[in-house]
Amino acid sequence: MRTNEAVSHSQRMRGVTMIELLAVVSVVAILSSIAVVSYRSYLLRAHRTDATTALLRIQVAEEKFFLQNNTYTIDITDALPTGLGVGSTTPNGFYTLVVAADPGSTNSIATSYLATASATGRQTKDTPCPTLTINDQAQHGPAATATTCWH
């Protein structure tokens, strides 16, 4: 049998206090803000594969073009045999693509090229890697962050 003291104690313990509720809401808000920042950072890094894939595709197309024409080309949008048929943006649209003569090499499109993928739209928030490059020697750039940006 219950005593009056046990009954009154159980009646008082029915809900949560406002302070307990605020503490739980605060913890959930802090964890959510950390998760959102981490997720956005992950998305920016994941979208880099859009650029690296496109640049590797340009590299293969340039080498094929060179074998057939004994020169490289800056025309990436026209289809073969005059261009590479790749497109001026990456497949998902996160980067714009440009090919030019490599100023770090011969600076002549006949013997060298530098393909560049520049971030556009939301991807410009990827401040460590706003541009990615590859040249006719298969050197990835930018040189200071090549290992970080290409992985």
Token pair for 1 = 């049998």
pTM of the model: 0.76
Give every CB contact of residue 79 below 8 A, 6+ residues apart in sequence: 85
Q: Which residue has tokens 């393909």?
A: 115
Between 57 and 143, residue with greater pLDDT: 57
Q: Domains in the chain: how many in total?
A: 1
40-50 pLDDT tens trace:
888 999 999 99
Q: Reduce the DSSP state of residue 118 to 3 states and report it.
A: strand
Alpha carbon distance 114, 112 (integer Å): 7
Query: What confidence score (pLDDT) does residue 20 get?
Result: 87
Strand-strand pairing, 114-119 and 95-100: antiparallel
Domain that residue 77 falls in? 4-149
Mean pLDDT of 17-46: 89
88-103 pLDDT tens trace:
999 999 999 999 999 9
102: Cα within 13 Å, side-chain hemisphere: 19
